[in-house]
Amino acid sequence: MIIKKFTGETMREAMNKVKESLGSDAIILKSEKVAQGGIFDFSDTKHLYEVTAAVDNTPIPSFEQKKFENMQERNKQSVIKDKKFNKEIFNNEKPQSKDFIEEIEKSFKVMDLKNDLSKIDKKLDHMSNHIKYNEMPNLPDSLVPFYIRLKESGVSERINKDIMMHIYMNFKGDDFLDDSLINDAVYSEIEKRLSVESLEDRSDFAGPQVIAFVGPTGVGKTTTLAKMAFNKTIFGKKKVALITADTYRIAAVEQLKTYSKITNIPLEVIYKPEQIRSALIKFDSYDYILIDTAGRSQKNVEQMAELKKIMYEGKVQDICLVLSANTRDRDLDDIIKRFSSVGYNRIIYTKLDETTTYGSLLNIYEQCKIPLSYITYGQNVPEDIREVDGRDVSNFILYPEKIKM
């Protein structure tokens, strides 16, 4: 097979050269418009039409003949859609149509326009992401998907930029081409910004370990307390007793009374902070005493003062601030700040099944520097609670669609 390239200022000129050199049996393999100075000529020069054609001068086996004919037909159709015009070009007896050649030239212009539009679409998409996600200047393309994932998961802009900057500063050359390496680096950066600790075992101290649950209304304090009290993986065979100060909600007291009867875990109801001391004395032989408190508005000074008094009278060792995953970020910030006066030293994050974004898990620690101890999801007691580690939190933030609760 003989393969040659022919150029001309017009398609007609290039096709004439094909016929003169290879004859009417020539097969058009490729046709395109090229810069006169070659592909690396970026000056504003005139373009030429380049046609790659072939003619076969050897017999083709029968099996290969069909393949060759199919290729021939496809290549003809890609350049010339109308079979009638196809005959005009490849048949010496019929003259070439000026209108046809002009039509071919127009088709090249359309192809060029489509290519230009495709490039513009990609550029606009990149610009759209830049505006939508407020991307960092000069952020490598390979980091952009991770930046967007963190952004869409609710990670704060400051933390997100800090993570990207640390990776950018520590990576070199081909590191940016390895998605697996970038993924591991993002996990590592998230985990460095977290503290995850279960409740400290204070069994070596004299007396029971007292744990209180505080937080605003509706975050699931009572249900969380019940999950912990009745879950054998948390306290094992240790003796647990309950105290509730949440007498503002009849349902809360009744809920704990029901659980208490089912599990034979004792429950004491108090109505004033001063009554907590007698309850502690009553449960002095127990390993753990869990205190449920009423939901409190962080903006109500009197309620916060009463809550602090309960913590003081109860000599509470671990105060768990219970936060709901479906709370808005701005409200979470306010709750974290105002409840700090109570002196909480643990975070429990609830209702993860009611949201699809988990960036606040990272934002919370960045703000208060208090470790996360447990997460809860669903209403099943005692099943829907567990401890987490940094890897778990990273999975929630980066790949929430893969999380199974």
**In the prediction, which pLDDT does 39 show?**
41
Q: Is the pTM of the predicted complex or chain greater than 0.75? A: no
Closest CA to 1 of 32, 25, 36: 25
| Beta carbons of 350 and 376 less than 8 angstroms apart | yes
**In the prediction, which pLDDT does 41 show?**
44
CA dist 164 and 188 (Å) reads: 12
**In the prediction, which pLDDT does 70 show?**
62
- State pLDDT tens for residues 177-224: 888 999 999 999 999 998 888 876 665 667 789 999 999 888 888 889
pLDDT at 2 over 60: yes
ω into residue 400 within 30 of 0, thus cis? no
* Banded pLDDT at 58 (limits 50, 70, 90): low
**In the prediction, which pLDDT does 133 show?**
47
Superfamily designation of domain 209-402: P-loop containing nucleotide triphosphate hydrolases (3.40.50.300)
Crossing angle of helices 221-230 and 250-263, in 10° steps, is 10
- State pLDDT tens for residues 271-325: 888 888 989 999 999 999 999 888 777 677 787 888 888 888 888 899 999 999 9
CA dist 118 and 148 (Å) reads: 23
